Homo-oligomer: A and B are copies of this chain.
Amino acid sequence: MRILYHQWLSPFCRKIRLILAEKDLAFELKEERVWDRRSDFLAMNPACQVPVLVDDEAPNETAVLADSTVIAEYLEEVYPQRLLIMGSPVERAEIRRLSAWFDGKFDEEVTRNLVGEKLMKRLLGLGGPSSEAIRAGLSNIHYHLDYIGYLCERRTWLGGDHLSLADLAAAAHLSCIDYIGNVPWDEHGDAKEWYARVKSRPSFRPLLADRMAGSAPPAHYADLDF
């Protein structure tokens, strides 16, 4: 059985869970407390970060894969039955650009400032959240939701005509922030309509059932009609 070493509210791990489910690939989740720096885990990924995917059902060899962008490319190459980076090289570049946007820019400007400050710092015993960081995250999220709205006015899905890695990367981040109730959906109708479509996919269901000890999500988190 494939094993995905992960953390519950890591958007990078959630993205890989979505990809695996969209491609209908069975896997088992193992929570990895990366801060323990377990030696067996370090041997799999010297960067000591999740996600790490151990794919023992690959065609020729057991694959040990680290870094969510790398894992996404690998899954696309080995399991092309359901493509998530599709089209011409330019269309594929656009899907990759948007995935990198959410995993880079959105993560730095929003996810870290909200999920990082409110949940991860407590989990790691790094002290209280910085109110300055939270203010920045709450402010920055608006222009990213506007950007999603802008894209959705022009395209069916963020990256083009089809659901792609771009949608999964974006929704993975937003799902983490939605867990702490910090997405101002009501001010961003187009983004909300897009998220409702991603959220209603069967691949998304397991994420909506996630519950972190000591912090319950708001009622609308798992509601498909939020």
Contact = CB atoms under 8 A, between A and B. Distances in A.
Interface of A: 46-47, 58, 60-61, 63, 65-67, 69-71, 73-74, 77-78, 88-90, 92-93, 96-97, 100-101, 104-105, 147
Given A47-B101, A73-B93, A73-B96, A88 B60 contact: yes
Given A47-B101, A47-B104, A67-B97, 4 more contacts: A67-B100, A70-B93, A70-B96, A77-B92
Contacts of A93: 63, 65, 70-71, 73-74
A90 B47 contact: no
Q: How many copies does the complex hold?
A: 2
A50 to B, nearest CB: 14
Nearest to A46: B147
A73 B46 CA distance: 24
A116 to B, nearest CB: 14
Contacts of A66: 97
Contacts of A70: 93, 96-97, 100
5 contacts: A46-B147, A47-B104, A60-B90, A74-B92, A77-B89
Contacts of A69: 69, 96, 100
A158 to B, nearest CB: 13
